[in-house]
A and B are shown apart, each in its own frame.
Chain A
Amino acid sequence: MLQRRIPLLITFLTGVIIVITFFIPHPPFGKLQDDALVWYSIILGFSMLIGVDSLLRFHYRRIARREKGFGFSFVFYAGFLACFITGIISEIKFGDAFAEGTSFRYLYDYILVPLQSTMFALLAFFVASASYRAFRARNFIATLLLITAVIVMLGRIPIGAKIPGITPLTDWILNYLQLGPARGIRIGIALGAISMSLRLILGIERTYLS
């Protein structure tokens, strides 16, 4: 009862209220959708404590048991503490850890930014290796994939403009040919998501509960 029925009821009520208030501008309903987003992020904040705690324990265990590569768990702790401590200090000292000039920002600029953008940049290499492997004219559909990809790739660089027809063809593919399927896929996803939401509200879909 408490474990299954109540959660289903909570989902039902919350979902229905959110949907109904969408059509009612009158206070206090009009703002409810916006408020709900804020509420969601507050709950997310609490859950993050659980998540981070499990991560800290994971590395603590590795060190305690001297598991293979446990030395790197010290690096993990160093990174965690460096950020956490500078964050707390900057928050107390300046009231805003994210302001320019705090030690927290210094670490952000010189540790997080390069890590983040280099990780992202790895994609340039993976895009090359994936296209080398995947774009083979194995059958009709694979050939289509390959041909459109190559045409658009050429059309996006200035040299493509020198091959007659490539630029207009690329523009035509992007503006018309791919527009229909792109729209169809998205309408499909939206419909699927709506149908899924209905199932959730009705309590038919309850993977995580039973």
Chain B
Amino acid sequence: MMEVIGIWIACGLTIAILSFLYGDNPIYKFAEHLYVGYSAAYWLIYIWHFEIKQMVVQPIAGRQPGAIWLIIPLFFGLLMLTRWFPRIAWVSRWSIAFTVGIGSGLVLTGGVQGFIIPQVKATLLSLWTGNVWESINNFIIIFGVLTTLLYFFFSREHKGILGAGANIGIVFIMIAMGASFGYTVMARISLLIGRLSFLWDSILRLIRFF
């Protein structure tokens, strides 16, 4: 019985969101407000359960070695709460600064190790492999990478060779954008297929129920 009620609710909410396609209307507004309210609370519970409880409360209660270091994030977390008091709200900048520091450090190392090096490595292709087509394709990849990088040169005006290269770069970029768009259409349609199948299956189930 609970399941049938649940399906009714789910069907109703599905239709309410779809109604946004027609334009703003009270049914959509209802779903939207419910959604924002519900999900805001959902993430509170989520953060409590998966982060605060499991990463703070349990290690401290269990006296795990190293739990003492949690004092650092707890300190900056509490500083964040100064935003409730406008006169000392600026103290929260310390916490922001701390998180920005974490982010910058991770980007510096992670960006090089995880992205730049493997991608540069993969571009070190041979221009002659013994197979004409393979060689041409390698050339296209290398040429695409280099001209695209030229487009992202900022400190010099795009004139002369740089200008020509950057123009080819933007042509490549647009081809990539078109390909990515065309490829994505499929995924978006899949989502709608999922939703409409759900509606259709639910309708069949509800008909059978009565």
Contact = CB atoms under 8 A, between A and B. Distances in A.
Interface of A: 2-3, 6-8, 10-19, 22, 28, 33, 35-50, 52-53, 55, 59, 69, 72-73, 75-84, 87-88, 91, 96-98, 104, 106-115, 117-127, 131, 141, 144-153, 155-157, 172-188, 190-194, 196-198, 200-201, 208-209
Contact of A115 (B6, B31, B56, B182): B31
Pick from B5, B29, B148 the residue with the most CB of A within 10 Å: B148
A188 B115 CA distance: 11
B203 interface: no
B101 A18 contact: yes
Interface in B146-196: 146-149, 151-152, 169-186, 188-189, 191-192, 194-195
B210 interface: no
Interface string B1-44: 01001110111011001101100000001111111111111111
Interface size class of B (residues with CB under 8 A): 35 or more
A194 B108 contact: yes
Nearest to A182: B176
Contacts of A47: 77, 80, 95
A14 B102 contact: yes
Contacts, number: 392
Given A42-B70, A83-B37, A122-B20, A117 B191 contact: yes
A90 B2 CA distance: 17
Contacts of A50: 80-81, 83-84
